[in-house]
Amino acid sequence: MNWLTNVVRPKIRNMLRRETPENLWIKCPDSGQLVFYKDVEANQFVIPGSNYHMRMGAVARLKSIFDNETWFDVALPDVTPDPLKFRDEKKYADRIKDARARTNLNDAIKVGYGKLEGAGVVIAVQDFDFMGGSLGMAAGEAIVRGLELAVEKKSPFIVFAASGGARMQEGILSLMQMPRTTVAVQMLREAKQPYIVVLTNPTTGGVTASYAMLGDVQIAEPGALIGFAGARVIEQTIREKLPEGFQRAEYLKEHGMVDMVVHRHELRPTLARLCRLLTKAPALDGASKSVQPVTTSAQIVSAPETAPAAPHA
């Protein structure tokens, strides 16, 4: 005990007590370095010292890619929230409600339509904070709707994948999203529009076994974990020790599973160049060659030409 707790009256102690946000500081998982949260946020959630790429939310990701941080929110079809009435330690319906309250998202994938260096693109972002970015009926519908919109708009489709795999609470209905999204990707391919995949940390399970590995160009962020089964399961199955860096972005690039590993600060100009190349569009005068850290808030509007805004919890 100290003089503050022994002598000072409780009301005065409460006045002296300062409220400190829980995320004021971030500890780098790679180096252990403590970094001020605002500095990491301004640096697109890349740790300044170690260049470690933290997970990035869906809204922050869309802000970092679209011109002027502005896009149209694409309305997504409604799905049955709890088709199997699943319950483990907690009701599945309650888990969804908690995830929506925590992330302000309707489900694990957010889809936007806007401009990337002057050219129209559709972008889908998987948010790992929403139940591990798991692929359920709503997420499958989001990918399919995004691909359909890209066909309608005759524009490239970019997906940022981040997932632990299929959502177990929806059983076979979740697994059916794998062939559905695969068919939708083929539909975009037949329309001769580019499909670009950005693999972020982590991308595993049924997402890797479907739309996340079907891109015309496969990009990965540095250090991203990418695979189907976990390394421990593979080692137990084949009874061999896996090589160093197995299932990491750099290892997969060396072995031909990924086309390029791109730092987050260079991701926007890289995607813009790929879209121009694959659509044979001319480069814009003064097109940005690098992306600056994003600090301002995004302007989000609903797209009247697509559908009414999706309902939010």
Residue-averaged pLDDT of the chain: 87
Average pLDDT over residues 169-196: 97
Given a cut of 70, whether residue 309 has pLDDT beyond it is no
What confidence category does residue 295 fall into, taking pLDDT thresholds of 50, 70 and 90?
very low
Where on the phi/psi map is residue 196: left (φ > 0), alpha (ψ -120 to 50), or beta? Answer: beta
User: Options 2.40.50.140, 3.20.20.450, 3.40.50.1980, 3.90.226.10; which CATH number does 55-279 get?
Assistant: 3.90.226.10
Average pLDDT over residues 81-103: 94
Structure-model confidence comparison of residues 153 and 292, the more confident one: 153
The residue ranges of every structural domain in the chain are 22-54, 55-279
Single pTM value for the model: 0.84
What confidence category does residue 38 fall into, taking pLDDT thresholds of 50, 70 and 90?
very high
Q: Where are the beta strands (DSSP E) in the chain?
A: 25-27, 34-36, 70-73, 109-116, 119-126, 157-163, 195-203, 217-220, 260-261, 299-302
What confidence category does residue 306 fall into, taking pLDDT thresholds of 50, 70 and 90?
very low
pLDDT at 10: 60
102-107's contacts with Cβ under 8 Å and 24+ in sequence apart are 102/129, 103/57, 103/127, 103/129, 103/130, 104/59, 104/312, 105/58, 105/130, 106/76, 106/138, 106/310, 106/311, 106/312, 106/313, 107/76, 107/136, 107/138, 107/139, 107/142
Average pLDDT over residues 280-286: 70
